[in-house]
Chain A
Amino acid sequence: MSHLRIESLSKVYVDEYRGENVVALDDISFTIEQGEFVSILGPSGCGKTTILNIVAGFIEPSGGRILLGDKPIGGPGPDRGVVFQSFALFPWKTILGNVRFGPKMAKRSRSEQDRVAREFIELVGLTGFEDRYPHELSGGMQQRVGVARVLANDPQLMLMDEPFASVDAQTRMKLQEDLIKVWEERHPTIMLITHDIEEAVFLSDRVIVLTSHPGRLNRDMRIDLPRPRQWANLVRDTRFSEITHEIMGLIMQGSGNADAEQEQEAVGEASP
């Protein structure tokens, strides 16, 4: 029994300007096991964020079924924590206040809220910053808070939407290594959305590659690189470059087809 089971998921948008249906996701099925780290990878427009938004309960699918444990998911809930690209920390709350938010909503005692919050602030290496406000922290530090806030709520599934896309390259690599450490320590089940091939390969047990227009499942790859992983070791690792090159090929091929189709469409429209 898989931890998360996605069956024949589809999403159709209505493009009101053109008055036609746009298929964002078409018949997506995959599973994620308990404690597994899975990345959804694809070019922009492949609907990968749509998958996250549906699993998080922010938007409704047009078809298909999602089971977490053995229960179908409904609207957003504390069993599925989300780490946002925009961080989405509450600017009116301190770091402690942000991380304490989930336990507070769960109506746990004040001392319990504080204990849990401090534990996870320490886990992401931000001890000493409890009383700061988010705007006083750098982007990288803010996203550490974003991770701590979700983990403090002990969700069954952690959803990460391009979490490191808005920080600079050096900080990103450090955050990726630290995320791996946190994952190896706690083994939360993670579904991460990214367009960064190396990030996906570096972090994940499995990488699910999507095609774009419409988003379809292209390949579900197991990443057999040994753990613990560090950038210093992987940059010269031949297996790492083989895997990233293979995925690069899949994505180029996928987007190449889409471009060809679009060109064809354009030609079709031009001729009367």
Chain B
Amino acid sequence: MGAAPATSTGDRETGPGESRTAPQHPRSSLVRNGVSATLWFLAPFVILAAIWAMIVEGTGVPLRRFPQVTDVAMAGAAMMADGSLWEHLGASVWRVFQGGGLAILTGVPFGLLMGANRKVATFFTPLLRFSVALAGIAWIPLATLWFRVDGAVTFIIWNAVFFSLVYNTMQGVQQIPVDFRRAAQSLGTGPLRMFPQVLFPGALPSIVTGLRVGMGYGWRGLIAAEIIAGTAGLGYSLFLAEKFFRTDVIVLMMILIGAIWLVMDRSLLAPLERRTVERWGMTKTER
């Protein structure tokens, strides 16, 4: 039984007055590591851009087929200047937060319930598997009929994040060592308080992982939904640009879609996941 809190069992014992702490790095080396990590992270993109510029230069492919790096930069500057870039970007990000938020509010309680009760889990599991296959853009026609265009896009994101959250929350609860629940019961925790006191915090590392994975699905779903049923947003802008042979805008949007996801993931979701896992005293490999 891999009880999570017993991670230090095999380690050397220390008496009171002594405890083990992570080695402290001097601050300057942390900053230096951060800068160098960022440079290494950007390096492949810089090389890719250089190759792209050389190929377009060498082959002389026309703008209506593929843009030069500078065309994309200029398109970006123009869209920033007239504000349309912020409009599309804001619309997409807002929808992702809306759909993600709704998914947290609905998916986490449902996942906790499924994790806590084997009968509920057994009953819903086939339905969950079925829905995972459908999750995403297959819902767009119905969602558009029900919620109009804007609501439909939010619905697609909710749908994608929801199933990932439900599944990971359920698994997180099921992986809570039985001794945690028993300890809580013996300390007077009733069945209802077990949810906020033990099941939710115990499953949190898994919930955060589910959120991160789900938001990835959601972001892809968002772009697809905006292409099919959009009035604004990065996907819609991509779709519109195709009609006018604006390859510079198309590539700009593709870059933005990837870049914004990276920023959201690295600045928000990944740190959230890392901090939860670290604070819980678990490492990824142990789970």
Q: Chain A: residues with CB nearer than 8 A to chain B?
A: 56-58, 75-78, 80-82, 84, 86-93, 101-102, 105-106, 125-126, 128-129, 132-142, 144, 149-150, 153, 155, 166-168, 170-171, 174
Residue of A nearest to B13 (CB): A171
B179 at the interface (CB under 8 A from A): yes
B4 pairs with A168, CB closer than 8 A: no
Chain A residue numbers with a CB within 8 Å of B17 are 128
B24 at the interface (CB under 8 A from A): no
A129 pairs with B16, CB closer than 8 A: yes
User: Which of B124-132, B198-206, B222-230, B258-266 is found at the contact surface with chain A?
Assistant: B198-206
Choose one: B1, B6, B179, B188; the contact of A139 (CB below 8 Å).
Answer: B6
User: Which of B30-38, B157-165, B278-286 is found at the contact surface with chain A?
Assistant: B278-286
**A109 to B177 Cα, complex, angstroms:** 29
A91 pairs with B19, CB closer than 8 A: no
Residue of B nearest to A174 (CB): B15
Residue of A nearest to B11 (CB): A138
**A82 to B178 Cα, complex, angstroms:** 13
B14 pairs with A138, CB closer than 8 A: yes
A76 pairs with B3, CB closer than 8 A: no
Q: What are 21 A-B residue pairs whose CB atoms fall within 8 Å in the complex?
A: A58-B185, A75-B185, A81-B186, A87-B6, A90-B183, A90-B198, A92-B279, A125-B16, A126-B16, A135-B280, A136-B19, A137-B19, A137-B20, A138-B13, A138-B19, A139-B13, A140-B13, A140-B15, A144-B16, A153-B187, A166-B6
Interface residues of B in 69-123 (CB under 8 A from A): none
Interface size class of B (residues with CB under 8 A): 35 or more
Choose one: B8, B11, B14, B183; the contact of A88 (CB below 8 Å).
Answer: B183
- Interface membership of chain B positions 175-213, coded 1 if the CB is closer than 8 angstroms to chain A and 0 otherwise: 001011011111111000100011001101000000000
Nearest 9 pairs of A and B residues by beta carbon: A135-B281, A78-B188, A105-B188, A76-B185, A88-B179, A86-B3, A171-B13, A102-B187, A88-B183
**A167 to B13 Cα, complex, angstroms:** 8
B14 pairs with A81, CB closer than 8 A: no
B186 pairs with A91, CB closer than 8 A: no
Chain B residue numbers with a CB within 8 Å of A138 are 8, 11-14, 19-20
Apart from A139-B9, A142-B6, what are 5 other A-B pairs with CB-CB below 8 Å?
Answer: A80-B186, A82-B186, A92-B279, A136-B281, A140-B14
Residue of B nearest to A82 (CB): B186
B5 at the interface (CB under 8 A from A): yes
Determine how close the nearest CB of chain B comes to the CB of A110; give it in whole angstroms: 16
B7 at the interface (CB under 8 A from A): yes
A91 pairs with B188, CB closer than 8 A: no
**A80 to B1 Cα, complex, angstroms:** 24
A86 pairs with B19, CB closer than 8 A: no
A86 pairs with B8, CB closer than 8 A: no
B29 at the interface (CB under 8 A from A): no
**A136 to B5 Cα, complex, angstroms:** 10
**A87 to B183 Cα, complex, angstroms:** 9
Chain B residue numbers with a CB within 8 Å of A106 are 188
Chain A residue numbers with a CB within 8 Å of B3 are 86-88
B28 at the interface (CB under 8 A from A): no
B21 at the interface (CB under 8 A from A): yes
A102 pairs with B188, CB closer than 8 A: yes
A92 pairs with B14, CB closer than 8 A: no
A92 pairs with B187, CB closer than 8 A: no
Residue of B nearest to A56 (CB): B186
Choose one: A58, A92, A139, A150; the contact of B202 (CB below 8 Å).
Answer: A92
**A134 to B201 Cα, complex, angstroms:** 15
With A86-B177, A90-B180, A139-B11: A134-B187 Cβ-Cβ less than 8 Å: no
